[in-house]
């Protein structure tokens, strides 16, 4: 296994991102699995840590297969995978129903995880988006597009492991991609970790508490 657990993966990823330390980056984690990885990166880079709330829109009869994704915001950003929608024959009404369920889940998580926590300034800063790995890339693409709309000076995607072809497809979405391990033959992210236990809401809240946003914040 390339990685023992998410904490070890985060430490290894932080070493690869070391050149950014003196450039005042902001680290955004995709919860829940990306938070332990991002926490290690934020610690090593002495960077503020925040969340970017993204939910996969799964095919009704195969929820793990993404037909799109939605990102939190004043107006949620929806990214569609038209090929998956076409091949699976999912109707627009079904897509919209699952989309709305995921928007409701994002709202729940925002209240639970962040509460009144201030957000670090994004505009004009280097922003590093971190997850524990990439599969289809649907949620990652949505997260990057939403972050780009907040006008960072540079947008970086950083993950421990991903499929080679997915990384190629994401090249235009980020200014820099840092991935420690990529494979042409890729099944599930968890296969590359010895310990891939689910991260709980409580663990996310505790990790955020250990990384308070101290300055240069914006409300809401």
pLDDT recorded at residue 52: 95
pLDDT recorded at residue 2: 92
Mean pLDDT value across residues 111-131: 94
Mean pLDDT value across residues 10-15: 98
User: If phi over 0 gives left and psi between -120 and 50 gives alpha, with beta otherwise, what is residue 137?
Assistant: left
CATH assignment, 6-52+115-213: 3.40.50.2020
CA 31 to chain centroid = 7
For residues 190 and 210, is the Cβ–Cβ distance under 8 A?
no
Q: Domain spans of the chain?
A: 6-52+115-213, 56-112
- Global pTM reads 0.88
Q: E strands of the chain, at which residues?
A: 26-29, 49-51, 54-59, 62-71, 77-80, 119-120, 126-130, 154-163, 176-183, 217-218
For residues 183 and 163, is the Cβ–Cβ distance under 8 A?
yes
pLDDT recorded at residue 219: 41
| 133 vs 137, more confident | 133
Beta bridge partners of 92: none
Q: What is the pLDDT of residues 49-58, one digit of tens each?
A: 999 999 999 9
């Amino acid at each position: 296994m390339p990685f023992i657990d998410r904490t070890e993966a985060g430490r290894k990823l932080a070493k690869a991102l070391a050149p950014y330390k003196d450039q005042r980056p902001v680290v955004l984690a995709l919860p829940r699995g990306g938070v332990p990885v991002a926490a290690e990166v934020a610690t090593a880079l002495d960077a503020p840590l925040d969340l970017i709330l993204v939910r996969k829109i799964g095919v009704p009869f195969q929820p793990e297969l993404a037909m799109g994704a939605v990102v939190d915001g004043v107006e949620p950003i929806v990214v569609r995978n038209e090929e998956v929608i076409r091949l699976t024959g999912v109707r627009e009404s079904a897509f919209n129903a699952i989309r709305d369920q995921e928007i409701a889940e994002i709202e729940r998580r925002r209240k639970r995880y962040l509460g009144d926590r201030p957000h670090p300034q994004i505009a004009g800063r280097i922003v590093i988006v971190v997850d524990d790995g990439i599969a289809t890339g649907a949620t990652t693409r949505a997260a990057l597009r939403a972050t780009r709309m907040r006008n960072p000076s540079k947008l970086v995607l950083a993950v421990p492991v991903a499929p080679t072809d997915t990384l190629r497809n994401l090249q235009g979405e980020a200014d820099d991609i840092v991935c420690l391990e990529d494979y042409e033959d890729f099944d599930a992210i968890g296969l590359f970790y010895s310990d891939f236990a689910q991260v709980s809401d409580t663990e996310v809240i505790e990790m955020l508490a250990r990384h308070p946003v101290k300055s240069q914040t914006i409300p809401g």
